[in-house]
Structure formats: structure tokens, C-alpha cells
Amino acid sequence: MQADVMRNVVPQMESLLWSTTCVLLYQGVRDLWDDVVSTKAWLGGVRFDSLRAFLDAERAVWRMAGSSRATCSSRARWRTWWCMAWGT
């Protein structure tokens, strides 16, 4: 399972965020090691002019059949999704 562990991509993320490319950061809450908490931790180290505004942005809850399953946040060209129990 070690081959499935994410490597540090902060330099690549910074390059993408400073370009005109739209970035989607997907994070599932049931990931074994790379969970939402670890993702939030490394986001603090990303150098991006809109990072503070992105982290402080309101989150929108997506509802499917009356249950909360995902939140979405976006700022400038950056969007992130936290999904829970999708496919179950």
C-alpha cells in the first residue's frame, strides 16, 4: 500500500495556482492516510495570493436525498471538495 501514499506536490500546486489554470482539489474523508486534516495542514504551506481568502471562504453543503455528503469552496481559480460516503 506504500505505493498509494501521496507525495508532496506543493511546488506543482503553487505553479498551477499562479498560472491561469483552474485547479480542483478533491479530498475524500475516508482516505486512509491522506485525509482532510492532512490536506488542510499542507495547504497552509502553499504560497498563493488568494490562500487566506480561500481558507476563510464560506463552504456550501451539497445535499443528496436530504443528507449532507459534500462541501465545496472556491476562490479565484481554486476549488476544493470534501466528499463523504460517496458511492455507498
pLDDT tens digits, one per residue of 58-79: 776 666 565 556 666 666 666 6
Q: Print the domain residue range for 60.
A: 2-83
Look at residue 10 in the predicted model and tell me its pLDDT: 82
Please tell me whether residue 68 adopts helix, strand or coil conformation. strand
Instruction: Tell me whether residue 24 is in a domain.
Output: yes
Domain of residue 29, CATH code: 3.40.50.12670
pLDDT tens readout for residues 77-86: 666 666 665 5
Instruction: Tell me whether residue 23 is in a domain.
Output: yes
Distance CA 34, CA 67 (A): 24
pLDDT tens readout for residues 19-72: 887 777 766 555 555 566 777 777 778 888 888 887 787 776 666 565 556 666
CA distances from 68 to 16, 34, 71 (A): 30, 21, 8
Instruction: Tell me whether residue 88 is in a domain.
Output: no
